[in-house]
Amino acid sequence: MEIDLVTQSGWIEANGTRFYYEAQGTGEPLLLIHGLNLDTRMRERQAAVFAQFYRVIRFDLRGMGRTPIGEGPYTLYGDARAVLEGLGVKRAHVVGLSFGGTVAQEFALAWPEMVKRLVLVSSGLLGHPRSERRQRDAGRIAELIESGSREEAVELAARMWFDGPDQPVNTEAGEARESFRLMTAHAYSLPPVTQMPAWLSPLPKDRLEEIKVPTLVIAGARDYEDFLQIADELAARISGAEKAVLEASAHIPPMDQPEAFNRLVLDFLGRK
């Protein structure tokens, strides 16, 4: 039997903005939430593979990609729910990368009945202290953007997140690295976000033990030390959580190690 892999795309108007989305495949819904300053394009190496088994849904977070920031107060976990509801989805597997992992945590705590399995990849954790090295590098990017050296800022972001801090340039993943650079350049060209989201209260950091759905935590060994610490904390405090470390990855395993990442996620999601 042939599987319909035609991509459906469009807009969902909700919560004071319009969300760009793409949906592909059939089967159980699988929501992919991208990281900060990225967009739906980062999932090109997962969508077609995962869509052979699942209905893959991806969307641009508010103020990123093609989704405008919109007007009025908002929550990012409420935005994720609005996208699912706009597509008639009541329950889904949820995979969140980095900042998207933070959103996935909030979503799983706010509406646990809507989450079947949870995958947190290089996930953030609101309230966890940033390492001095990450603060220094992020500060340098801000300086470059403010001075108009946007191309230098894009390359530094690639060195930070795609290659990993103090790592050589990842030439083996050249095409994916360039895709990361293009998304980052687009993000740096957008108007700055002036209204931040309201975060779930209490913060997920104070209630990780409440997450009861099967959870997989994935980290890249070449990532910043604070994200490796977060991975340890998530795995230790979420009941029954599993952890996998990809030795050749930095912060973006879905792009720099797509085959290994896909195998991990598909194996986890396919369990009874």
Could you report the per-residue pLDDT of 29-77, keeping only the tens digit for each? 999 999 999 999 998 889 999 999 999 999 999 999 999 999 999 999 9
The helix (run of H) or strand (run of E) holding residue 21 is: strand 17-24
Cβ neighbours of residue 108 under 8 Å, at least 6 residues apart?
94, 115, 118, 211, 213
Q: Which of these ranges, 41-45, 151-155, 247-251, has the smallest mean pLDDT? A: 41-45
pLDDT at residue 194, as a whole number: 84
| pTM of the predicted model as reported, rounded to 2 decimal places | 0.96
How many Å apart are CA 223 and CA 114, to the nearest integer? 30
For the cut 60, the answer to whether the pLDDT of residue 3 exceeds it is no
pLDDT at residue 232, as a whole number: 98
Q: What is the pLDDT of residues 181-226, one digit of tens each?
A: 999 999 999 988 888 999 999 999 999 999 999 999 999 999 999 9
CATH topology of domain 7-129+195-269: Rossmann fold (3.40.50)
- Calculate the alpha carbon distances from 80 to 90, 111, 182 in Å: 12, 11, 24
Phi and psi based region of residue 256 (left: phi greater than 0; alpha: psi -120 to 50; beta: remaining): alpha
pLDDT at residue 1, as a whole number: 39
User: pLDDT category, 7, cuts 50, 70, 90?
Assistant: confident
Percent of the chain beyond pLDDT 90?
Answer: 93
Cβ neighbours of residue 166 under 8 Å, at least 6 residues apart?
none
Percent of the chain beyond pLDDT 70?
Answer: 98
Average pLDDT over residues 103-127: 98
- Domain positions in the chain are 7-129+195-269, 132-189
Q: What is the pLDDT of residues 21-38, one digit of tens each?
A: 999 999 999 999 999 999
CB atoms within 10 A of CB 153: 21
Classified as helix, coil or strand, 15 is coil
